[in-house]
Amino acid sequence: MAGQALRRPHRRHVKLDEHLPLDHHLNQVYRVGAGVMGLILTVFGILGLIDKIGFFDTGGATVAGLNTNGALSVLSICVGLILFTGMVVGGNIASTLNMVIGVLFIASGFVNLALLETSYNFLAFHIQNVLFSFVVGVLLMFFGMYGRVSATLPHDNPYWRARHPEAAERERRLRARGGQGRVGVG
């Protein structure tokens, strides 16, 4: 009996890759976020390659105010193309891709901050690159988490319905009977 009192109530775990209707308005946010960030990174990478900077050159060549070299340019193009792929596919894949790459950009910012002015700084990062990495990471995470992660999601949101199936069913039944009010989550 005492063991039962200590048990936690069963919680339903929501996977981030649950189905999102293709015509849902959140899909546009995920696609735009991936597309804009992919375009910025791809253009930065192409401009870096056009300047014919050495692959691991740390001499201080800049493109659009950011230090770069051939390795960083190629890496930027690759990540930009991955984000373009997410834009084309859309939906939960674009959202998850935005979140994952956003976290990777923030982690890259911290790692490269630690590597500034060391011989291990093979991507030629300077402080402006670190700040750019943080900004891009936060923006990608914003675009990826938009409409998925919040305490105040609207009740017509598919993620809210997945997290609160009983309340969503009560609201559906209430609407079917002609009522327009919200039913509490509780």
Is 92 exposed, middle or buried, given 0-12, 13-18 or 19+ CB atoms closer than 10 A? buried
- Alpha carbon separation from 30 to 99, 106, 144 (Å, rounded): 10, 19, 6
Residue-level pLDDT, tens digit, the chain, 186 residues: 555 555 555 555 555 445 555 455 667 778 888 888 999 989 988 888 887 776 666 676 777 777 788 888 889 999 999 999 988 887 778 888 989 999 999 999 999 899 888 888 878 788 899 999 999 999 999 888 876 766 566 666 666 666 667 776 777 777 777 755 555 444
Backbone CA torsion sign across 88, 28, 24, 103: positive
